[in-house]
Structure 1
Amino acid sequence: MSSPPVSVLSAAVGSFGATDALAWVAIGAFVLALLLQWQSREAAARYLAAGAWVVFGVFWLTMVPYYYGEAQSPIQTVLSLAALPLCAYTGYLLLQGRTSLLLLTKAVAIMGIIYLPVETIPFARTWLIETTAAQTHYGMELLGHSPGLNEGANGYESRFDFDPDETVTGRTTYIVLACTGIGSMAIFGGLIAAVKAPLRRKATAFALAIGVIWFLNLIRNVFIGLASPFGWFQYDPLIYITTTYMGSPADRTSFLVAHNFVAQSLSIVALVGITYLVIRILPEVMEPLEEALFVLTGTEYDLADALGKPDPAGEQLTHSNDD
């Protein structure tokens, strides 16, 4: 008997050799630009960083066919399409002399330094994927499901071995690197490491962000891992949408709805919430965030004023009308 069909829980960036090369070139150029800035060669740093941002945008553009065709993720497709013009605009602003964007450049460089080695070093990749799979399986057991784990299509012990005769769709899922939460962890790791602040507060903010991401990611994986085989979203209107507009098999509907719509939408909400929590501990991260908002909107923002965030000394940055 052939094995039941499987669905990947998320995109695996490592399957794109040329894309990997673009990512490494962009991150390497970011790091070199920061070294130039450290040597007080600010103009050279801005020019190199500007070029690196364009390469970074091209990297995301190369991901569009995967997100649109194979992953069938509307959110990731739109974000990848938007990345190139936004990155090119960031480069333009650097060329025009907006030196403050070098801090955002530093944050992105550190994000890449955290993520890319994990994505490319086999031992680290294997450990992270299989550990996440084991933890997800434990979460399923807490809910009364114990399918066991076996080797998935990616070669790791990360596939949930549900009996297709005992499930609604006959499908199952397996964990890939993007399901481990390392991408979100790298984002906050980069933001926190990039700013100047006391080590104690930076460590506290990092521990909080990583802990919350790990917990929410575990819930996400359990949710998708159960929704797909047990057909939680096998309703006619949803089946019609996924088969007609996404060209997907009908039995894949629950996976697509759970992963590409419910989980990804809630992930955006979660990232905003985690960002707010980090700001409460480490308000310095508002500086690179303000730079990102300027790139997105062309407007200068004062997040400290908007959020009423206390400064590190405990004094309110915004003024109260109360006497």
Structure 2
Amino acid sequence: MSALSAATAIPDTVADVAVADPATLLFASIGSIALSDALAWLAIGAFVTAMVLEWLDAVDPARYLAAGAWVVFGVFWVTLTPHYYLEVKSPIETLLTVAALPLCVYTGYLLVRGRESLLLLSKAVAIMGVIYLPAETIPVVRTWLIETTAAQTHFGMELLGHSPGIETGLNGYQSRFAFDSDETVTGRTTYIIMSCTGIGSMAIFGGLIGAVKAPIKRKVAPFVLSIGVIWFLNLIRNVFIGLASPWGWFQQDAFVYVVTEFMGAPVDRTSYIVAHNFIAQSLSIVALLGITYLVVRMLPEVLEPLEDVLYILTGTEYDLSDALGQEMRADGGAGATTTASGTEPAAEPAATDAESDAASEADTDSER
């Protein structure tokens, strides 16, 4: 959830938001709508309370409270549908917000019906919110994230031979790339907002990793890996969109036709929409799947909440640990492990002499 105001192109400033990845859809734009803001805080507060109740062994109250939290969470996403359809013009994000309500309501229904395993997924969402909301709501942290991301993106542009400089964007931060509109193809530029920092995606993996039962030492490596990969790919994406928009990389007739006729956007915004809404967001989904696979190989416990996600989407039970050859280690790593963990199964205890003699006699009797 993000209190970001998802800025769109405005004729007199011709600036677009640099990027907002699909994973950050989990944390998008609530500050621009008071109702959404209230719903987001209410949902995360309920998820956190349910997590505490489960920790206190009050499982039934935790289930019912988490069920209500999921319903509120679904309503929160629906309130953002007009924003993503009319302003951001993102087909992927619009579809996800529309689908969120029935999926969240169904999750709440399953919890009420007794599917306690969903408390783990609810806990993951609670931790995601706890990670993200301070970054979003504490001004000094928010400013640092946005302006640092803008500076890093500008450095990436400089490596490719572009040095526009950075100026104050519509959001009030030093995050707008100061391309000269008279020298670029489209006369447009982009600026960085909170969702461009990748903090939403980082919070998602932080929530999943933090929610499962495993020793801290086994959680550190996948957490560091996921954060590092997200940061690097997010930087590449920011640079890509930041250059594609002003220099009109996708101003071809076919793209212009789709953007203007079916999305009602200005001609000069075509490159931004193609780069941001179509290419970057689609590749982000692929990247998130790849990062998830790497995390699962290192921390198989993460498969448990992912199996529940698949059940919610398909109504079918899946055993991802068997499919991927990973053994769930919710016991904290004790006992036998598969070759994926790099160790051999624990040896069986040797039979006693009495047991061996009894076995021999039994074999002899069977032969008679």
- Asked whether the two chains share a fold, i.e. TM above 0.5, the reply is yes
- Aligned partner of 1:287 in structure 2 is 304
Task: Quote the offset at 1:3 in angstroms.
Answer: 5.8
**Alignment correspondent of 2:95:** 78
Match of 1:315 among 338, 353, 361: 338
User: In the alignment, is the contact (CA less than 8 A) between 1:169 and 1:231 conserved in 2?
Assistant: yes
Determine which of 210, 228, 234 is the counterpart of 2:245.
228
In 1, Cα distance between equivalents of 2:304 and 2:163: 46
* Secondary structure, counterpart of 1:268 in structure 2: helix
2:15 alignment partner in structure 1 = 6
Which residue does 2:287 correspond to in 1? 270
Whether 2:261 is the aligned partner of 1:244: answer yes
Residue by residue over 1:171-222, the C-alpha shift from the partner in whole angstroms, topping out at 9 and shown as x without a partner, is 0000000110011000000000000111111011100000000000000000
Residue 359 of structure 2 corresponds to: none
Instruction: Answer whether contact 1:12 1:176 (CA < 8 A) is retained.
Output: no
1:16 corresponds, among 15, 30, 33, to 33
Q: Secondary structure at the match of 1:158?
A: strand
TM-score by length of 1: 0.95
2:180 alignment partner in structure 1 = 163
- In the TM superposition, what are the counterparts of 1:1-323 in structure 2 within 5 Å? 4-9=13-18, 10=20, 12-309=29-326, 314-316=337-339
- Distance across 2 between alignment mates of 1:132 and 1:315: 41
What CA distance in whole angstroms lies between the structure 2 residues aligned with 1:305 and 1:225?
Answer: 42
**What is the identity, as a one-letter code, of the residue corresponding to 2:311?**
F
Do the aligned residues in 2 keep the contact of 1:14 with 1:120 (CA within 8 Å)?
Answer: no
* Matched residues, number: 317
User: Is the Cα contact below 8 Å between 1:4 and 1:164 reproduced in 2?
Assistant: no
Indicate the percent of aligned positions where both proteins have the same amino acid. 70
Output the CA distance in 1 between the equivalents of 2:191 and 2:148: 12
CA contact (8 A) 2:154 2:165 kept: yes
Secondary structure of 2:263's aligned partner: coil
Distance 2:88 2:131 in 1: 24
Cα separation, 2, equivalents of 1:304 and 1:316: 13
Q: Does structure 2 conserve the Cα–Cα contact (< 8 Å) formed by 1:171 and 1:229?
A: yes
1:253-293, Cα deviation, whole Å (9 max, x unpaired): 00000000000000000000000000111111001111111
8 A Cα contact 1:133 1:158, kept in partner: yes
Between the aligned partners of 2:29 and 2:68, the Cα distance in structure 1 is 26
User: Structure 1 residue 4: deviation in Å?
Assistant: 4.4
Give the distance between the partners of 1:4 and 1:290, measured in 2 at CA.
Answer: 46
Gaps of at least 5 residues in structure 1 are 318-323
Q: Please give the alpha-carbon distance, in whole angstroms, between the structure 1 residues aligned to 2:65 and 2:339.
A: 38
Which consecutive unaligned segments of at least 5 residues does structure 2 have? 1-10, 21-27, 341-368
**Computing the radius of gyration over CA atoms, which structure comes out larger, 1 or 2?**
2
Structure 1 contact 7–174 (Cα < 8 Å) conserved: yes
Contact 1:12–1:177 under 8 Å retained in 2: no
Q: Which shows bigger deviation, 42-51 or 268-277?
A: 42-51
SS of the aligned residue for 1:164 comes to coil
Q: Label 1:139 to 1:12 Cα distance change in 2 as closer, same or farther (>3 A).
A: farther
Give the Cα separation in 2 of the matches to 1:241 and 1:191.
Answer: 38
CA apart distance, 1:14:
2.6
Further displaced range: 228-237 or 14-23 = 14-23
8 Å Cα contact 1:110/1:190 also seen in 2: yes
Query: Which moved further from structure 2: 212-221 or 308-317?
Result: 308-317
Secondary structure of the structure 2 residue equivalent to 1:173: strand
CA distance in 1: counterparts of 2:180 and 2:315, whole angstroms = 53
Q: Aligned residue for 2:3?
A: none
Q: Which residue of 2 aligns with 1:320?
A: none
Read off the aligned partner of 1:230 and give its amino acid letter: W
Counterpart contact for 2:53–2:61, Cα < 8 Å: yes
Comparing 144-153 with 300-309, which one deviates more in the overlay?
A: 300-309
SS in 2 for 1:245: helix
Deviation at 1:12, TM superposition (A): 3.9
Give yes or no for contact 1:293–1:299 (8 Å, CA) kept in 2.
yes
